[in-house]
Structure 1
């Protein structure tokens, strides 16, 4: 899918005000509406995806609505029903996990509404396009960077902990597999794992405190998504382990950049959520308008470290941070 950098920059700044309450827009009146069903819009990643879907919708003259499932399966189903009742033309879905997606697809198929996925896929069902990232390769690269940092400090057979996203999500399994492979190849050992439930910094703070208490020689922690990594950093500092326990991350929030610069985060495998959402939105619109679609689009991970951050910052500002980083 050809998207020029100039066009992306223009789209990043584009935002339309919602229609006045009770007064449908011309697009809605024509049944032209793209709905984004998000796993949880409180997470920066899904907010950036939402902005990408919105950009695609506006570019093609569609109205846009984002509905937040708050990581709850029943809320996700209710949001799906609401979207269909209110005349959604197409849906972009980031499900609470892969196993909950078929129920959404079943409802949408009965209503004749096409669905594309952004970030998290499905275990079964009919859909237009799955837009994903090379999660396993990205996590492997973060693991290699962390292993290299251990080696530079003379730490052999390092003990490492992981705070994972749901392993019922396909992308969660891939991130775990990639990171574990990197650790095993370097002779390091995973000694503790916790799986997120609320995806908050406070939750990961508690996980990491418990890990460091149980494993005082732990040399590294890999956190599989953005804001929870900030909780890991807070726990490392509270336990006075700065410099003794290194952090590898996935995805990105603006707060990561100074932390990467000062070495608090060794590396982060950043997906490109704005581009992911825009691509998924365009695939649904192409389906509606008789255009060509692809079953799967795999976007590259930008593995960001102190060594390359300045060079790729212009790309990060748009495709990762959706124009929110000035």
Structure 2
């Protein structure tokens, strides 16, 4: 599979691509609308990715609409059907999970509407390009950083819990394996405190999961939250249990609140994907198809492990590529 790896972009870099049409049906050729099928706009990561797509395609004269699936495969399929029925020019999809994505891809292929996948991935099906972060490497770096912090406190023989995104998603599987491998390679010698899988992807849900893990594992010294906003719920639960300073928290992705939390040490590390850059890259890939070109089948956007020691240095870049200029 052909791959291209993007380097991080400096803040303010403008991402543009050519536009046009080739090889799609007449209804799509007449359309100037691109839609983004997203798992849930309540999660900042998907909002930032959406902004990247929107900025890129609007710069080339396309209309844009993001359709929220509310983490429901059924809703995502219905959104896809509606979009295809009105003959959109192209679709970017972040599947609700990898196992249900093929249904959407099959419908789009039948209608001859090009699809780019922005994150998560699919178990099968045809698509023009897949924009993906190196979830294994990003989570591996998080695991190493957490193990290092645990060792510095003499807690490497304690236990570490995980609040995971869906393990039906390929990126979820990669994050879990990468993190556990990184923990081991970083010198952690303790045990796993168990794993809870998110369903609603909210801070309140993770608050409860963290309470359960703390109760079941009095020796728990580390916790990995596999996406952004839910990490706030974990920190709240640790504070409510009066375990402040006794459990080190590692996160994934990034929201503006993380900047101060990393500076204060409340978060040890966050493996930040660059969702705005991923969205812009997804938009570029789709525009290339519409212009008659062939984008790389898989394009990898790196993940940046942000800690208290490098946050100031990395902040100018991640303001744009991670936070979409919201911080």
- The two structures have a TM-score, normalised by structure 2, of 0.91
SS in 1 for 2:251: strand
- 1:42 and 2:42 are equivalent in the alignment: yes
Larger CA deviation: 51-60 vs 90-99: 51-60
SS in 2 for 1:130: strand
Query: 2:101 matched to which residue of 1?
Result: 101
Query: 2:180 matched to which residue of 1?
Result: 180
Query: 2:19 matched to which residue of 1?
Result: none
**Shift of the alpha carbon at 1:7?**
9.2
Query: 1:310 matched to which residue of 2?
Result: 312
SS in 1 for 2:239: helix
Q: Does the 8 Å CA contact 2:29/2:89 hold for their aligned counterparts?
A: no
Q: Does the 8 Å CA contact 1:51/1:322 hold for their aligned counterparts?
A: yes
Query: 2:111 matched to which residue of 1?
Result: 111
SS in 2 for 1:297: strand
Q: Does the 8 Å CA contact 1:38/1:66 hold for their aligned counterparts?
A: yes
Q: Which has the higher contact order (CA 8 A, sep 6+)?
A: 2
Alpha-carbon displacement from aligned partner over 1:126-172 (angstroms, at most 9, x marks no partner): 00110000111111111111111111111131200000000010000
**Shift of the alpha carbon at 1:6?**
7.8
Query: 1:220 matched to which residue of 2?
Result: 222
Structure 1 residues 262 and 286, CA gap change in structure 2 (3 angstroms): same
- 1:320 and 2:322 are equivalent in the alignment: yes
Once residues 293 and 60 of structure 2 are traced to their aligned partners in structure 1, the CA distance between those partners, rounded to angstroms, is: 13
Which 5+ residue runs of structure 1 have no aligned equivalent? 13-27
Query: 2:24 matched to which residue of 1?
Result: none
SS in 2 for 1:40: coil
Once residues 320 and 253 of structure 1 are traced to their aligned partners in structure 2, the CA distance between those partners, rounded to angstroms, is: 8
Once residues 120 and 271 of structure 2 are traced to their aligned partners in structure 1, the CA distance between those partners, rounded to angstroms, is: 16
Once residues 10 and 113 of structure 1 are traced to their aligned partners in structure 2, the CA distance between those partners, rounded to angstroms, is: 27
Alpha-carbon displacement from aligned partner over 1:44-83 (angstroms, at most 9, x marks no partner): 0000000011011112211111100000011001100111
- The two structures have a TM-score, normalised by structure 1, of 0.91
Once residues 188 and 260 of structure 1 are traced to their aligned partners in structure 2, the CA distance between those partners, rounded to angstroms, is: 24
Alpha-carbon displacement from aligned partner over 1:252-276 (angstroms, at most 9, x marks no partner): 1111111100101000000000010
- 1:132 and 2:127 are equivalent in the alignment: no
Alpha-carbon displacement from aligned partner over 1:96-144 (angstroms, at most 9, x marks no partner): 0001100000110111100011111100000011000011111111111
Higher helix proportion (structure 1 or 2): 1
Structure 1 residues 62 and 6, CA gap change in structure 2 (3 angstroms): farther
Query: 1:92 matched to which residue of 2?
Result: 92
Q: Does the 8 Å CA contact 1:183/1:189 hold for their aligned counterparts?
A: no
Once residues 65 and 90 of structure 1 are traced to their aligned partners in structure 2, the CA distance between those partners, rounded to angstroms, is: 11
2:231 paired residue among 215, 229, 232: 229
1:200 paired residue among 179, 202, 206: 202
2:294 paired residue among 292, 298, 316: 292
Query: 1:283 matched to which residue of 2?
Result: 285
1:271 paired residue among 270, 273, 293: 273
RMSD, matched Cα: 1.9
